[in-house]
């Protein structure tokens, strides 16, 4: 039986894929501009395209897809929404959509070429910030709807553990709500007054710090829904149960604690923050690596248990027994594989001294393409392959499955070529985010592009393969949504895979949200209270950083 929130989820997915089409097209343009192979018309600016690419893929595609998945999973595991929850969830979707349209119009009209990180001193039209504020408000409404649904379930099922999917959703939403506080404060009190000209200056350091207070947990807001699929969906697809319910819940709790007080690791080269606070946040960053290592361990264990149950023996025999011909699994497996170098790159970035080498170089661009661009995006693709036909009542036909294989393989090849080139170029010293694609033909810059992998052709080929793969995905999605044959008998219908999770040994305190919220607030206070208040108090009057109101 299909969930009642079907329409709302489909709307979210549709908007996500519209953003995906425009965003990936901007990505294609990006590659050719960076390779000096495309000259833009006068009315179009490099930074405008870069902003559209980042905002539409990293912020909009992810957000709509995430809410689609979370709404679907909460309805599936906790039951249909009540009237109020339903209304709030729709309202959330509509407000997020209005914000998205407003922000996109501002970017397209060239009034918001401030990149997806949008912090000062770059300045956009005030309407762009209003658009972003609406996106946040919309996601909060949707979050409150889902939290309300969870509370109602808990009231009906006193003393019981919530299903793992619901637990993980609530953890993700708590993280999201706390993280957004930084961007809400900066948008309302710093950017909007500054952009509309009500004040003359902005406290640059404060605005950047508040952005990164939000910006780092943002990456876990993308990652955790992918982890939900890894923990809850994958075991079902490969015919086993969740390896350890307690481990899975604890890893999500660790994300609530350690995702937020780490934003300074994006600002390690900024002079306005003392080394002590940077070092403290670097240490906390190393704590947030732990739940990902736990996840890797848990995934390996799940695979091995499943493979051995199917008769796999020896050191690698179990590995061969995994369902490689099931694209719902293979896509997510490839996603995980990419996260091994992606995570290792993150650890390099976070290492205080090594950050000097990679900060603001193409390395960082390579890093985020093999974190959000592959592990997260490819997991979302893997989810699309069953979630859309489950909702639309259509069949994921054999021919569509074959195309899906081609799609994930081409995405992997494209990403491998492009991100490897980006990592190498970064290590050689190539800066990111510059319209001077040829680096003014500086002799040392020309040398960067002499390598076998770090040359213009590799990047362009990688980027082009990625775009073709993206279009193939859109074709598959459109078919699953509107054109594939209907599943007429229940056996043909796509399932919503949710694995069993044994809570017998799960400690009760793991679901004590106030404990985790309290600890998270304490850690945030420890990491941020003094440096932020320093930024507010010690900006001398008249300096660039001073707030004038």
Please name the residue that has the structure tokens 């081409």. 410
The dihedral formed by the CA atoms of 371, 373, 376 and 381, expressed in degrees to the nearest 10 = -150
Give the shortest CB-117-to-ligand HAS separation in angstroms.
Answer: 5
Comparing C-alpha atoms, which of 142, 146, 171, 164 is closest to residue 81? Answer: 146
Q: Which residue, 153 or 250, has its beta carbon nearer to ligand HAS?
A: 250
Do residues 544 and 272 touch, judged by C-beta distance below 8 A? Answer: no
Build a one-symbol-per-residue string for 350-369: x at contacts with ligand HAS by CB under 6 A, - elsewhere.
x----x---x----x--xx-
519 binds ligand HAS (CB under 6 A): no
One-character DSSP codes across 306-342: HHHHTT--TTTHHHHTS-TT-HHHHHHHHHHHHHHHH
Strand partners, 486: 394
Identify residues 284-303 at the interface with ligand HAS (CB under 6 A): 285, 288-289, 292-293, 295-296, 299-300
Q: How many residues bind ligand HAS (CB under 6 A)?
A: 32
**Active site residue: 34, 369, 394, 423, which one?**
369
Interacting residue with ligand HAS among 179, 219, 470, 477 (CB under 6 A): 219
**Active site residue: 367, 380, 396, 467, which one?**
367
Build a one-symbol-per-residue string for 161-200: x at contacts with ligand HAS by CB under 6 A, - elsewhere.
----------------------------------------
Please name the residue that has the structure tokens 């799960």. 506
Is 359 annotated in the active site? Answer: no
Comparing C-alpha atoms, which of 369, 368, 396 is closest to residue 382? Answer: 396
Q: Which residue, 261 or 346, has its beta carbon nearer to ligand HAS?
A: 346
Give the shortest CB-44-to-ligand HAS separation in angstroms.
Answer: 22
Do residues 284 and 537 touch, judged by C-beta distance below 8 A? Answer: no
Question: CA torsion sign, 37 to 39 to 40 to 41?
Answer: negative
Which one of the spans 157-165, 234-242, 271-279, 345-353 is the region binding ligand HAS (CB under 6 A)?
345-353
Q: Which residue, 320 or 521, has its beta carbon nearer to ligand HAS?
A: 320
Q: Coil, strand or helix: which one is 477?
A: helix
266 binds ligand HAS (CB under 6 A): yes
Strand stretches in 394-474, DSSP E: none
Q: Which residue, 234 or 473, has its beta carbon nearer to ligand HAS?
A: 234
Give the shortest CB-50-to-ligand HAS separation in angstroms.
Answer: 11
* Distance of alpha carbon 95 from alpha carbon 131, whole angstroms: 10
Give the shortest CB-285-to-ligand HAS separation in angstroms.
Answer: 5
Comparing C-alpha atoms, which of 85, 53, 54, 55 is closest to residue 70? Answer: 85
**Active site residue: 86, 308, 433, 456, which one?**
433
Is 220 annotated in the active site? Answer: yes
Give the shortest CB-153-to-ligand HAS separation in angstroms.
Answer: 29
Give the shortest CB-217-to-ligand HAS separation in angstroms.
Answer: 11
Build a one-symbol-per-residue string for 23-42: x at contacts with ligand HAS by CB under 6 A, - elsewhere.
--------------------
CA atoms within a 13 Å half-sphere pointing along the CA-CB vector of 284 = 28
* Distance of alpha carbon 19 from alpha carbon 380, whole angstroms: 14
Is 538 annotated in the active site? Answer: no
* Distance of alpha carbon 333 from alpha carbon 338, whole angstroms: 9
Q: Which residue, 125 or 349, has its beta carbon nearer to ligand HAS?
A: 349
Q: Which residue, 372 or 481, has its beta carbon nearer to ligand HAS?
A: 372
Do residues 35 and 459 touch, judged by C-beta distance below 8 A? Answer: yes
Is 433 annotated in the active site? Answer: yes
Give the shortest CB-467-to-ligand HAS separation in angstroms.
Answer: 20
Is 367 annotated in the active site? Answer: yes
Which one of the spans 8-16, 97-105, 193-201, 331-339 is the region binding ligand HAS (CB under 6 A)?
331-339
**CB-closest chain residue to ligand HAS:** 343
221 binds ligand HAS (CB under 6 A): no
Spatial neighbors of 276 by CB under 8 A, at least 6 apart, are none
Interacting residue with ligand HAS among 87, 340, 457, 526 (CB under 6 A): 340
Spatial neighbors of 448 by CB under 8 A, at least 6 apart, are 425, 428, 429, 430, 454
Comparing C-alpha atoms, which of 319, 472, 464, 486 is closest to residue 405? Answer: 472
Return the axis-axis angle of helices 126-156 and 164-185, rounded to nearest 10°.
150
Do residues 165 and 228 touch, judged by C-beta distance below 8 A? Answer: yes
Do residues 75 and 5 touch, judged by C-beta distance below 8 A? Answer: yes
Q: Which residue, 331 or 355, has its beta carbon nearer to ligand HAS?
A: 355
Comparing C-alpha atoms, which of 210, 4, 188 is closest to residue 117? Answer: 210
**Active site residue: 20, 165, 220, 528, which one?**
220
Q: Coil, strand or helix: which one is 432?
A: coil
Q: How many CB atoms lie within 10 A of CB 472?
A: 17
Q: Which residue, 104 or 349, has its beta carbon nearer to ligand HAS?
A: 349
Give the shortest CB-219-to-ligand HAS separation in angstroms.
Answer: 4
Which one of the spans 166-174, 185-193, 337-345, 462-470 is the region binding ligand HAS (CB under 6 A)?
337-345
Interacting residue with ligand HAS among 102, 133, 206, 223 (CB under 6 A): 223
Do residues 280 and 225 touch, judged by C-beta distance below 8 A? Answer: no
Identify residues 371-410 at the interface with ligand HAS (CB under 6 A): 371-372, 376
Please name the residue that has the structure tokens 């699309």. 384
**Active site residue: 20, 116, 368, 390, which one?**
368
Q: Which residue, 232 or 481, has its beta carbon nearer to ligand HAS?
A: 232
Give the shortest CB-119-to-ligand HAS separation in angstroms.
Answer: 10
368, two tokens: 């985020």
Cα Rg, the chain, nearest whole Å: 23
Q: Which residue, 350 or 476, has its beta carbon nearer to ligand HAS?
A: 350
Q: Could you list the active site residues?
A: 216, 220, 367-369, 432-433
The residues that touch ligand HAS, with contacts defined as CB under 6 A, are: 117, 219, 222-223, 265-266, 285, 288-289, 292-293, 295-296, 299-300, 336-337, 339-340, 343, 346-347, 349-350, 355, 359, 364, 367-368, 371-372, 376
């Amino acid at each position: 039986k299909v969930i009642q929130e079907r329409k709302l989820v489909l709307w979210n997915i549709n908007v996500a894929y519209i953003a995906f089409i425009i965003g990936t097209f901007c990505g294609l343009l990006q590659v050719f501009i960076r390779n000096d192979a495309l000259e833009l018309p006068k009315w179009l600016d490099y930074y405008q395209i870069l902003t559209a690419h980042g905002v539409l893929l990293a912020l909009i595609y992810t957000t709509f897809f995430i809410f689609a998945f979370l709404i679907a999973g909460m309805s599936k595991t906790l039951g249909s929404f009540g009237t109020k929850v339903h209304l709030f969830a729709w309202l959330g979707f509509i407000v997020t959509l209005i914000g998205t349209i407003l922000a996109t119009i501002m970017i397209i009209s060239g009034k918001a070429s401030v990149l997806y990180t949008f912090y000062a001193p770059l300045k956009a039209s005030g309407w762009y910030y209003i658009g972003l504020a609406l996106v946040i408000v919309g996601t909060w409404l949707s979050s409150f709807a889902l939290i309300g649904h969870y509370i109602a379930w808990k009231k009906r099922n006193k003393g019981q553990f919530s299903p793992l999917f619901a637990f993980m959703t609530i953890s993700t939403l708590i993280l999201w709500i706390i993280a957004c506080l930084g961007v809400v404060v900066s948008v309302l009190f710093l950017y909007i007054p500054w952009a509309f000209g009500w004040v003359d200056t902005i406290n640059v350091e404060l605005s950047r710090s508040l952005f990164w207070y939000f910006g780092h947990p943002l990456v876990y807001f993308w990652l955790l829904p992918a982890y939900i699929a890894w923990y809850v969906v994958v075991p079902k697809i490969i015919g086993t149960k969740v390896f350890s319910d307690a481990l899975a819940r604890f890893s999500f709790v660790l994300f609530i604690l350690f995702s937020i007080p780490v934003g300074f690791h994006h600002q390690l080269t900024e002079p306005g923050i003392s080394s002590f606070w940077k070092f403290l946040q670097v240490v906390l960053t190393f704590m947030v690596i732990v739940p990902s290592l736990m996840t890797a361990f848990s995934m390996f264990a799940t695979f091995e248990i499943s493979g051995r149950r199917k008769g796999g023996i020896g050191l690698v025999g179990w590995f061969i027994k995994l369902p490689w011909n099931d694209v719902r699994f293979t896509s997510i497996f490839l996603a995980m594989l990419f996260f091994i170098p992606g995570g290792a790159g993150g650890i390099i970035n976070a290492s205080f001294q090594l950050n000097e080498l990679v900060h603001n170089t193409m390395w960082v661009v390579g890093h985020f393409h093999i974190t959000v661009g592959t592990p997260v995006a490819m997991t979302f693709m893997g989810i699309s392959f069953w979630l859309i036909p489950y909702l639309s009542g259509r069949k994921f036909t054999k021919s569509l499955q074959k195309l899906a294989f081609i799609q994930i393989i081409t995405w992997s090849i494209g990403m491998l070529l492009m991100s490897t080139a980006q990592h190498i170029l970064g290590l050689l010293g190539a800066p990111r985010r510059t319209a001077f694609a040829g680096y003014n033909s500086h002799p040392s810059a020309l040398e960067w592009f002499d390598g076998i992998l770090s040359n213009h052709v590799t990047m362009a080929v990688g980027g082009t393969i990625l775009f073709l793969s993206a279009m193939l995905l859109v074709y598959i999605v459109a078919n699953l949504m509107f054109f594939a044959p209907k599943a007429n008998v229940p056996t043909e219908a796509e399932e919503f895979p949710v694995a069993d999770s044994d809570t017998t040994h799960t400690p009760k305190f793991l679901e004590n949200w106030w404990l985790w919220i309290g600890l998270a607030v304490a850690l945030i206070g420890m990491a941020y209270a003094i440096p932020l208040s320093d930024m507010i108090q010690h900006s001398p009057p008249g300096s660039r950083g001073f707030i004038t109101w």
